[in-house]
Structure 1
Amino acid sequence: MRVAIADDDSIVCSSLSTILEATGTADVAWTANAGADTVTRYEKDAPDVLLVDVQMPGMNGLEASELILTAHPDARILVLTTFADESYIAKALEIGTKGYLIKQDVSSVIPAVQAVMAGQVVMGAEVLNKLRTGVQPMATRTLLDADCNGLNEIPERFANLTEREREVLELVAEGLDNREIATKLFLSEGTVRNRISDILAKTNISNRTKLAVEWLSCQ
């Protein structure tokens, strides 16, 4: 696995590089300390996973991520930052990053990178707690289904899903990848992919990350 790191702090880049390479988790392809440089480097040498901080000089990490994802929708980008700001979380979900992790414990980066590489969505515990407890401000709420309203009932957006589709959705929200879902439900990976595509179409949700977050917000 090849990973790239974008962070305005060169010490953070160096520390993460050492951890990833020393543990045999990944080879670090390159590092960048500014948003514009991140976009340029990605175009020249796309890694398997990009770790990106939010606050960087000039173009911030989310703006850089949006440009990359617009050109490369399949890019695996994991936001790694010290800021649990709801507007940042909302933007990260909106543009389709693969997760949002708070820099509380550097050791959590390794399983997070591995999970993103495997196709899973990664949300830090602090982020999930905000989504589950319904304390999101309006900036985040606008990304979530207005029908949820904090009620323990199936919102209108998910009402037309079959029982099997809801089972698949629940496992997507738990962060399982297609292979794990297939194993758990005794389905083929192709069937799981088709089910998820059907769910996205029925709910009019654009990507797997938003799907997981919106479902969690209604629980």
Structure 2
Amino acid sequence: MIRTIIIDDDPFVRLSLRTILEAQKDVEVVAMGGTGEEAAALFDEHAPDVLLMDIQMPGAGGLEAAERILAAHGDARIVFLTTFSDDEYIVRALRLGARGYLIKQEVATIAPALRSVMAGQSVLGDEVLERVEALVRAKPAPSAASERVPSVLGVLTERERAIVELVAEGLDNREIAARLYLSEGTVRNHMSAILQKLGLKNRTQLAVCYYRGA
């Protein structure tokens, strides 16, 4: 069973989510709450497999609660379920180490997403994935790019890290090759090695990893 906590400030949403999830044979809702403070307390009390949480709530919001929970429980699986596909929220959630970011309207994806998270994957709703891809295409300011070097990239060589930063800026292989004075074939080989080292499948997942700042 996937032991789940639901945190949302709307009682109707909480009850609806519980009904949807408990219709699944492999999901159990062990607790529900309506604030970030309750999220932290209920997580400590129940140690759920997954915390499904809204972002905007009275008092401590979901992002603040997630930061507190992850500071105490580094392996916590937190999935945000929200109506807001705001770029800032998405980037902050990924940097915090959230395992997923879903949109409430995509209710059919919630249970499969919990299973994917339990299998070690990160999950993004369709609308969120579109925003992440837009972030990848949008070139950040050089100062911002230079500051974002996720520790997970420590397994990469200096050249590979440089390529990852350029991928996050939205450059394609040809542009990366020109920027680093390499051949496109060399860039492709580096990309294959990077994805293999990090256990990722494609450039979008690589950019997500970069923006998470894990």
1:131 to partner: Cα distance? 2.0
Corresponding residue for 2:78? 77
Q: Distance in 1 between matches of 2:210 and 2:65?
A: 27
Measure how far apart 1:150 and its partner are.
Answer: 2.1
Q: Aligned with 1:172: secondary structure?
A: coil
Question: Residues 94-133 of structure 1 correspond to what in structure 2 (within 5 A)?
Answer: 94-133=95-134
Structure 1 residue 5, shift from structure 2 partner: 0.4
- SS of the residue 1:147 aligns to: helix
In structure 2, relative to structure 1, the CA distance for the partners of 1:41 and 1:167 (3 Å cut) is closer
What residue in structure 2 maps to residue 183 of structure 1?
none
2:170 — aligned with what? 150
Superposed structure 1 runs of 4+ greater than 3 Å apart: 133-139, 141-146, 161-167, 209-212
Output the amino acid matched with 2:44.
E
Q: Which runs of 5+ in 2 are unaligned?
A: 150-163, 181-186
Using the TM superposition, give the Cα deviation of residue 25 of structure 1 relative to its aligned residue in structure 2, in angstroms: 3.2
Change (3 A) 1:214 1:47: closer
Query: Which residue of the partner structure matches residue 196 of structure 2?
Result: 168
Task: Give the TM-score of the pair, scaled to structure 1.
Answer: 0.70
Q: 1:165 to 1:138 in 2, by over 3 A?
A: closer
Shift, 1:105, TM fit: 2.0
Asked if structure 1 preserves the Cα contact closer than 8 Å seen for 2:106 and 2:125, the reply is no
Tell whether the 8 Å contact from 1:169 to 1:212 is kept in structure 2 after alignment.
no
Larger Rg: 2
Whether the aligned pair in 1 keeps the contact of 2:85 and 2:128 (CA below 8 Å) is yes
* Contact persistence 1:86–1:137 (CA under 8 A): no
> Structure 1 residues 116, 152: CA separation in 2 closer, same or farther (over 3 Å shift)?
same
Code of the aligned partner of 2:24: T
The counterpart of 2:208, out of the listed 205, 209, 213, is 213
5+ residue gaps, structure 1: 175-208
The alpha carbon displacement at 1:28 in A equals 0.4
Query: Percent identity at matched positions?
Result: 43
How far the C-alpha of 1:118 sits from its partner, in A, is 1.1
Specify which structure has the higher proportion of helix: 2
Q: How many residues align?
A: 180
For 2:111 and 2:27, how far apart are their aligned partners in 1? Answer: 9
Measured at CA, do residues 136 and 151 of structure 1 come closer, stay the same or move farther in structure 2, by a change above 3 Å? closer
Corresponding residue for 2:44?
43
Which amino acid letter does the alignment assign opposite residue 102 of structure 1? Answer: I
- Which deviates further from its counterpart, 20-29 or 44-53? 20-29
User: One-letter code of the match for 1:105?
Assistant: E
Q: Which amino acid aligns with 2:171?
A: L
Q: Following TM superposition, by how much is the alpha carbon of 1:165 offset from its aligned partner in structure 2, in angstroms? A: 3.3
Query: In the aligned structure 2, how far is the partner of 1:138 from the partner of 1:55?
Result: 26
